[in-house]
Structure 1
Amino acid sequence: MANPSTGSGRATTEPEQLALVPSTAPARKQAAKPAKPAQAPAPGLPVARVVVDSGLAHLDRPFDYLVPEQLSIGVVPGCRVKVRFAGRLVDGFVVERVERSDHAGRLAFLAKVVSSEPVLAPEVLVLARAVADRYAGALGDVLRLAVPPRHARAEKAARSRVDDPPPVGSVEGWQTYVHGLAFVASLRAGDRPRAWLTAVPGPDPARLVAEAVLATLGSGRGAVVCVPDVRDVARWDAVFTEVLGEGRHVALTAAQQPADRYRSFLAASRGDVQVVLGTRAAAFAPVRELGLVAMWDDGDDMFAEPRAPYPHAREVLLLRASQQETALLVGGYARTAEGQSLIESGWCTELVAERGTRRKAWPRLDVTDGSTAGSAPVRLPHEAFRAIRAAEGSVLVQVPRRGYRDSLSCQTCREPARCPDCQGPMGQPSASSAVTCRWCGRTESPWTCPHCRGHQLRSPVVGALRTAEEFARAFPDREVVTSGGASVLPDLPAGRRLVLATPGAEPHVEGGYDVVILLDTWLMMAREDVRVDEESHRRWFNALALARPGGRAVAVGDALTLQALVRADPAGFAARELAARAETHLPPTARLATVDGPDDVLAALAERDWTPTTEVLGPVPVDQRSPDAGQRLILRAPRREGAALADALAAVAAERSAAKLPGLRIQVDPPTF
């Protein structure tokens, strides 16, 4: 019989079952983990109230945590911490430490102190809460706008501070305005005047505001100044340094590098500087002993925050001026309906130049429709052509659109040129490019009109690039440059050139422009927007203000529409605009909110009780040209019910958050809708 262990044959008997013999070697014991020492709460003020960045609308309130004894020294009001929340580690700010909690259950301990730097000032917390309530949002969303992300190296960097008294500045520019000198004197005396400045060309607005800030510094108080974009910050920063002196202010914008932004924020938070100049990001700057909040060109859409809860920097500063009892200065070449409303209510006073001074400061404006002796209008009228020929220096031509030929139609039958695949608009991005669909990118060369079989195209709307080609041919003795889109020119020296710019991208020229041409004004007024009149006039006034003293301007458009420009009367236009808003129950005379979401959800919200006199409009498509863009519900209520409407909208967001339903896009007083 073969051995079954060799596997060379088949066994005829069952092998014996082996017995299990216990091992004589001792079992290896696993090393026991050292027990975590039990945490003990701090002996004094053991409870910390924390604003948790949960992102959940129904949990928009502070939560109590125990302060571990070993972390007690670093836990100060305003510092950043990590806490356990809903099973995960999240960020938060300590808002206060108290002796006991009102919570009946067991409290968790703080997990970590990220930094003991008190970055959330008490007054900024109160302001952020008010902004969240005003815009039906959550406190955590506002704090993300108010406090920049931490940068450890910037936090540890050496500090610098100027302790010398501020210089005594000139107030010469304020003599142009009635009560201007009294306003600056009131700031220097430590008072809290509130003024709306309707500026005229001539005195540099950056220098005017800097002189007001210097007067505020003279009273021992600080200032926050907001301008529309980073180009303005760079230009105003140089003027502020000249007027205030080195090291007395910092620039604060969201476009800065993280370290630079956080360093500027800390300089204000620690009290090393008392003046912050920036974009909308500076509206929450934690300036100590704040005495003045100021803003230039409040109608610029750059002041509208694109992130929830979508606050406008102007409203943030108005709330701040009320809460912290500071002086207020808002200025611009044009005036918004919001500014006119505050002036008419008596909440603030207006600073304006006398009528004769105002008329002399603005350039003389001629309006033409482009026609001559009953002929068809032309794009470059004779008046504009003659004014450019006569100019010795630079000429500014404002063109509403940046592109080349963004809109095309058939030369024969005038039907719009459409793509045969997607029916999108056909355009031509440059002179050497083929005719291309702006939606799907299909190239059509040669193009054939499906209506009349014609092959010639015309452009009813010409962009700045095509206009530059036409002007270069018409004025070969001048340098032609363009500014707009991603290619915005910086300030230019004086010279014999033609500058074609889109609205808002006009470069400053040393000494001012000899002539300003406003082309295609009808095109700016053709946009579908309730603020189109106000926005167009703001851009036109800003362009005209770039002319040199005694300069000339020509506007191509309707004379009746442009009467405010002819009379140099932005205040009169703002009064008429405010009256029109009151008739149609639109902001600022009323509160208006939009809610974007699914059809069925909005249909249910339309039946909901809001405030006693809230009007419910819709739901309607967000974009009439794109049915897939979703639906929008519009709610309109009197100003006295604005707070109640915002509370009701916040309650809707909290209900959906608690039910784990997708959120809705809620905007209160949106800039456009």
Structure 2
Amino acid sequence: MVSDSPEQLTLLRETVRRSRTKEPAGIAGALPIARVAVDVSLPHLDRPFDYLVPEDLSEAAQPGVRVKVRFAGKDLDGFVLARLESSEHDGKLMRIRKAVSPEQVLTPEVADLCRAVADRYAGVLADVTRLAVPPRHAKVEGEALRCDQPVRPVASTSTSEWSPYPAGFLDAVRRTEAPRAIWTAVPGAGWALAFAQAAAVCASTGRGALLLVPDARDLERLASACTTVLGADGFVMLSADLGPTARYRAFLSTLRGCARVVIGTRAAAFAPVADLGLVALWDDGDDSYAEPRAPYPHAREVLLLRAHRQKCAFLLGGFARSAEAAALLESGWAAELIAGRTVIRSAAPAVHIAGESDRDLARDPAVRAARLPHQAFETAREGLKTGPVLVQVPRAGYLPSLVCQTCRTPSRCSVCGGSLRHSGSSGPASCSVCGRPAADHRCPECGDTRMRAAVVGARRTAEELGRAFPGVLVRTSGGDKVLDEVSSEPALIVSTPGAEPVASGGYSAALLLDTWLLLARPDLRAAEEAVRRWFNAAALVRSARDGGAVIIMGEPSATPLQAVVRWSPEGYAARELEERRTARLAPAAKLAELTGSAEAVADLVARLKQLVDPAAGLEVLGPVDVDDETVRAVVRTPRGYGSTLARVMKEAQAARSTKKLAGPLRVQIDPATFG
């Protein structure tokens, strides 16, 4: 046997190598360029990039499809935004490496919305698309989810729950117009049915509706109402609580048009609803709507952008009203949808503040100081004769803050309105926002200069009530054990704010304890949040004509408590907005909170001052220490310069990103909590 020569061996190896190497496919003849949003969170790379479309991927690589591309030496995910005839890039273009799935999961409308949200919050598109499009599950894509049959007509088009309100909004939706309304609901548990009926009106015109609620409990109530109005197959429920697989299945059902109505929590704000005609959100003041991941968008603002860009109807509802909702009304962007005072008075319970009258003081001199005065016991005792009684106790775990020694009014900075705190064992109190010392602080209510720490947490209220009312069932709702519903049988239901169960037939009475503790939270939104919690609890109580009563334990002259007594959420929201305007706080001003290392925060603030026009009125508060390694500064401008602030903030972050400057830094536009 004759061995091969070295030249023959080399030729043989080259032949084998060529046979194993796949020749690259040609480039697509039609629309050979794909504009791709690459999954990169660096601010200076927040733009689409052009790639060549291989011929064998031309059919799959359509707009909205997930792809794999080569970027900075790595294989990264991305979404095809568009197919083009040519590219403006003069250099060599790389090829798309893989079409992950032919499913067009990022629709043009949602892609446009994601870009708008990223710009609104000085974020990057990649971070927003992660919120909009859930992770892929290949097995779910292979399931028989295609909606081959036409969407069924709605089961009912009744609008009975809307009879107390002016008919203009629903009439405009029925005419396929785009009305915008701030809806203040009449007390009672019928809001979910009203939402479902509004969605049914929209769906009857052949358009889609998107309804958002704060949490899983409200979602179940809305789902029950939608089942009654639309039928079990008439809507899709989309929520992060469903789990990854079920959520992706619901997402694909929405994408493929299996139903015209989509209901969900914060995660559904970007749902790809076809031919969207209505977006609605219940109780926008709930902090569940604030996204904890960058760029920290609020679901209300996402729907506002969506209503504007897709020219659909907008409905913002609740028992209370936020300052942001009041600002929308004041600007004329939305109209007020509210029942007449006669209707409201007939539906609301009788609300009283313990010790508000001279008769109460004569009967019980300690009524204003006692945690559970005689008046509250009497109301609970009478209520237990006809049904359950709700007892709301502030949630444990609020951070301590300073209040007036005499009247317990929250102590605020006279310069910026921030909460006062003690950062050490000695020295005067200082502002948690701007850091200024408050050595000459004087309470604006009573004039006292002394301050004390607010009590943290709630006492053992259930045990106290159990001893006070022997033989009466006492149940608790809050923390890890939240009740959804309770029967109409007499019982004491002790609940933390937001965890109140719905009572069959309504509560006969409610006691709102330790109201000063909610007001003393170290947050500039504390009063607004407290009022919202109280309205939501009181709305579960039967009407005054049916014997329903609410007793509030607190200072009778306090404006937040008086708003509940008068059942005037709209008046309180207007007053809150005016105070925010005076203090130059959101929504009357545009705020940006910068949190990170001292060097990073100082560098970003310096860049902002260089980029912002002096006419914009840029103001910097702080920085103040958050902990040993972190500081916080607040930047604000007038509302009219809000888009400018977001743009400049993005440019400053891009400059830092380009230079790879070290130091952790978080930027949050209009933070949900502030103080």
TM-score class normalised by the smaller sequence: 0.7 to 0.9
Deviations 1:276-299 (A, max 9, x none): 100111111110110000000001
**Match for residue 58 of structure 1?**
44
Q: 1:219 aligns with which of 184, 205, 213?
A: 205
**Match for residue 553 of structure 2?**
556
Report deviation, 1:342.
Answer: 1.1
Q: Percent identity?
A: 49
Do the aligned partners of residues 140 and 399 (structure 1) sit closer, same or farther apart at CA in structure 2, a change above 3 Å counting?
same
CA distance in 2, matches of 1:135, 1:146: 15
Aligned pairs, number: 596
Q: Partner amino acid for 1:322?
A: H
CA distance in 1, matches of 2:670, 2:519: 21
Does the aligned pair in 2 maintain the 1:402–1:485 contact within 8 Å? no
Report deviation, 1:605.
Answer: 3.6
| SS of equivalent to 1:65 | strand
CA distance in 2, matches of 1:120, 1:374: 63
Report deviation, 1:339.
Answer: 0.8
**Match for residue 492 of structure 1?**
486
Matched, 1:544 2:538: yes
Matched, 1:209 2:195: yes
Q: 1:614 aligns with which of 617, 623, 639?
A: 617
Matched, 1:45 2:31: yes
CA distance in 2, matches of 1:135, 1:536: 27
Matched, 1:166 2:154: yes
| SS of equivalent to 1:547 | coil
Larger radius of gyration: 1
CA distance in 1, matches of 2:482, 2:617: 44
- Give 1:10-89 correspondences, 5 Å limit: 31=13, 32-33=16-17, 34-89=20-75
**Match for residue 670 of structure 2?**
669
CA distance in 1, matches of 2:366, 2:281: 46
**Match for residue 254 of structure 2?**
268
Report deviation, 1:566.
Answer: 0.7
**Match for residue 94 of structure 1?**
80
Matched, 1:384 2:384: no
Do the aligned partners of residues 200 and 24 (structure 1) sit closer, same or farther apart at CA in structure 2, a change above 3 Å counting?
closer
**Match for residue 594 of structure 1?**
593
| SS of equivalent to 2:96 | coil
Report deviation, 1:575.
Answer: 0.7
CA distance in 1, matches of 2:37, 2:566: 53
Q: Partner amino acid for 1:471?
A: L
Alignment TM-score, normalising by the size of structure 1: 0.85
**Match for residue 632 of structure 2?**
632
CA distance in 1, matches of 2:135, 2:50: 23
| SS of equivalent to 1:581 | helix
Report deviation, 1:167.
Answer: 3.2
Do the aligned partners of residues 469 and 613 (structure 1) sit closer, same or farther apart at CA in structure 2, a change above 3 Å counting?
same
CA distance in 2, matches of 1:502, 1:174: 30
**Match for residue 302 of structure 2?**
316
- Give 1:92-491 correspondences, 5 Å limit: 92-159=78-145, 160=147, 163-177=151-165, 179=166, 181-202=167-188, 204-368=190-354, 372-373=364-365, 377-391=369-383, 392=385, 393-402=387-396, 461=455, 463=457, 466-491=460-485
Report deviation, 1:616.
Answer: 2.7
CA distance in 2, matches of 1:480, 1:185: 46
**Match for residue 438 of structure 1?**
none
Report deviation, 1:629.
Answer: 5.3
| SS of equivalent to 2:163 | helix
Q: 2:514 aligns with which of 515, 520, 539?
A: 520
| SS of equivalent to 1:628 | coil
CA distance in 1, matches of 2:218, 2:169: 24
Report deviation, 1:615.
Answer: 3.2
Q: Partner amino acid for 2:595?
A: D
Report deviation, 1:463.
Answer: 5.0
| SS of equivalent to 2:78 | strand
Do the aligned partners of residues 289 and 475 (structure 1) sit closer, same or farther apart at CA in structure 2, a change above 3 Å counting?
same
Report deviation, 1:165.
Answer: 2.2
Q: Partner amino acid for 1:672?
A: T
Deviations 1:599-625 (A, max 9, x none): 2333344442324333332432253xx
CA distance in 1, matches of 2:51, 2:305: 31
Deviations 1:387-439 (A, max 9, x none): 111122101100002489x99xxxxxxxxxxxxxxx99xxxxxxxxxxxxxxx
Report deviation, 1:584.
Answer: 0.9
| SS of equivalent to 2:254 | helix
CA distance in 1, matches of 2:528, 2:457: 22
Deviations 1:613-663 (A, max 9, x none): 33332432253xxx3251112111111111111011101111121122245
Does the aligned pair in 1 maintain the 2:506–2:541 contact within 8 Å? yes
> 5+ residue gaps in structure 2?
402-423, 426-452
Q: Partner amino acid for 1:552?
A: A
Does the aligned pair in 1 maintain the 2:122–2:650 contact within 8 Å? yes
Report deviation, 1:245.
Answer: 1.3
CA distance in 2, matches of 1:645, 1:460: 36
Bigger CA drift: 30-39 or 85-94?
Answer: 30-39
CA distance in 2, matches of 1:667, 1:191: 34
Report deviation, 1:73.
Answer: 1.3
**Match for residue 567 of structure 1?**
566
Bigger CA drift: 152-161 or 255-264?
Answer: 152-161
Does the aligned pair in 2 maintain the 1:162–1:247 contact within 8 Å? no
Q: Partner amino acid for 1:652?
A: A
**Match for residue 647 of structure 2?**
647
| SS of equivalent to 1:310 | coil
| SS of equivalent to 2:503 | coil
Q: Partner amino acid for 1:171?
A: T
| SS of equivalent to 1:117 | strand
Q: Partner amino acid for 1:555?
A: I
Does the aligned pair in 2 maintain the 1:593–1:670 contact within 8 Å? yes
Q: Partner amino acid for 2:372?
A: L
Report deviation, 1:373.
Answer: 2.1
CA distance in 2, matches of 1:601, 1:38: 46
Does the aligned pair in 1 maintain the 2:114–2:129 contact within 8 Å? yes
Bigger CA drift: 286-295 or 493-502?
Answer: 493-502
Report deviation, 1:26.
Answer: 6.3
Do the aligned partners of residues 383 and 246 (structure 1) sit closer, same or farther apart at CA in structure 2, a change above 3 Å counting?
same
Deviations 1:35-59 (A, max 9, x none): 3313321111111100000121111
Does the aligned pair in 2 maintain the 1:237–1:251 contact within 8 Å? yes
Does the aligned pair in 2 maintain the 1:464–1:500 contact within 8 Å? no
Report deviation, 1:302.
Answer: 0.4
Report deviation, 1:182.
Answer: 2.6
| SS of equivalent to 1:136 | coil
Deviations 1:516-564 (A, max 9, x none): 1000000000111111111000000000001023311100001122110
Q: Partner amino acid for 2:296?
A: Y
Does the aligned pair in 2 maintain the 1:359–1:567 contact within 8 Å? no
**Match for residue 658 of structure 1?**
658
Q: Partner amino acid for 1:350?
A: E
| SS of equivalent to 1:90 | strand
Does the aligned pair in 2 maintain the 1:48–1:65 contact within 8 Å? yes
> 5+ residue gaps in structure 1?
1-22, 408-422, 425-458
